[in-house]
Amino acid sequence: MVRTFYLLGVLAVLGAADTLYFHEWRVRLPGMGRRARAELQLHALRDFVYSVLFGSLPWFAWQGWWAAVLALLLLTEVVLTLWDFVVEDWIRKPLGGVYPGERIMHGVMGITYGAMLAYLGPSLRNWWFTPTQLVISPVPVPSGLRWTMLVLAAGVLLSGVRDLCAAAELPGSAWPWVRR
């Protein structure tokens, strides 16, 4: 699980950079409101999945049927990401398309996610054959890193809530951007 943890951490950093630089700064998605509704909603759903992953994998073993729930979450993330690739092209076409650097970032993130899944696979398999329970089982890395992942879980959860609010054009949800 140590390699899985570090790859998850790399994914968290890449995802934060993608969100802050491309989604917020370059495209200003929250300021697009309803025009970007589908993309914002997909990002929010994916953020909620990542919040669960960042907040739980460093601390818990998903045993028995919980392993199936985790596998479903991991598959859900893949489906949401693939659909997001399509939706981003639709939404961003009037803006000149998805930035080349953003496409590269998404490719690197996909490769990192795949590597994380490859390392997580054996643990998922082992967990499947144990009694169904969530077991406190901290990954053997410095505790500060596990706590950092918990902070990142809270951050990605807040980002998802903000994206949902921006998709609904709730007051203040475009801040610091002005609706276009």
CB neighbours of residue 145 within 10 Å? 13
pLDDT tens string, the chain, 180 residues long: the values are 999 999 999 999 999 999 999 999 999 999 998 899 999 999 999 999 999 999 999 999 999 999 999 999 999 999 999 999 999 999 999 999 999 999 999 999 999 999 999 999 999 999 999 999 999 999 999 999 999 999 999 999 999 999 999 999 999 999 999 887
CA distances in angstroms from 113 to 29, 118, 154, listed in the order given: 24, 9, 20
Instruction: Report the phi/psi class of residue 20: left, alpha or beta, with left for phi > 0 and alpha for psi in -120 to 50.
Output: alpha
pLDDT at 80: 98
pTM: 0.94
Rounded Cα gap, residues 17 and 38, in angstroms: 21
pLDDT of residue 179: 87
What distance in Å separates the CA atoms of residue 23 and residue 70, rounded to the nearest whole number? 27
